[in-house]
Amino acid sequence: MSPLEQAILAFDRSLRVFALPARATRPYPAESVPDVEMSDASRKTSGGLMRVNHTGEVCAQALYQSQALFAKGSDTRLALDHAAQEEWDHLAWCAQRLKELGDRPSFLNPLWYAGSFLMGAASALAGDQWNMAFLVETERQVESHLDSHMSSLPTEDLRSRAIVETMQKEEAAHADMAESRGAAVMPAPLKLAMQATAKLMTSSAYWV
Ligand SMILES: [Fe+2]
Ligand SMILES: [Fe+2]
């Protein structure tokens, strides 16, 4: 694709994330899970945590899009596109749960989207083994972050839990996929920088 075609595709995909309500292609994991009565405090906690997860999935869209767009090999691009489709469902599920909780997405999403897009592009341009290394580290961090949410979500919020559990399994599979595609070993300072960025995202999205 020419740079212009790439730019148009990137713009079109960002419109899909922000301008239209995300529609999942697979069943909602909370579909048959009872929506139990929750206190205002619990609902607020769940709303904050699911807002963080929603922002994480907005970032995932940006990352996967730029990582696929600038991937060196066509097979790498295909693998990224496949995982991105699952991430699209995650985005739709988080949006749906936020709505059910009477809450809203983060106001900072466009900022995180832009930042993630640039980070994904940089890792892809460094070559496929670094593209995969970045993916492994991102997904492993998301996996452990979702694990912490299984402890912090109110116990009665069975619907959010069902969504987080499904996402966690799929994030782990995305990391495994990237590892099996010859991911380089990410240097420790880069891992720390990614952790610090993720911390900034999760703590701000909970409130804003
Ligand atoms: Fe995800
Ligand atoms: Fe993932």
Q: Mind listing the pLDDT tens digit for each residue in 11-60?
A: 888 888 998 888 899 999 999 999 999 999 999 999 999 999 999 999 99
Centre of ligand 1 to C-alpha 42, Å, is: 23
* Domains of the chain listed by start with CATH number: 44-207 (1.20.1260.10)
The pLDDT of residue 20:
80
96 has pLDDT over 90: yes
Centre of ligand 2 to C-alpha 87, Å, is: 6
Cα–Cα nearest to 56, from 184, 148, 123, 129: 148
Element containing residue 176 per DSSP (H, E) = helix 158-180
Centre of ligand 1 to C-alpha 94, Å, is: 10
Cα–Cα nearest to 164, from 138, 144, 182, 179: 144
Task: Kindly state the percentage of the chain with pLDDT values over 90.
Answer: 87
6 has pLDDT over 80: no
Q: How confident is the model at residue 171 (pLDDT cuts 50, 70, 90)?
A: very high
Centre of ligand 1 to C-alpha 167, Å, is: 6
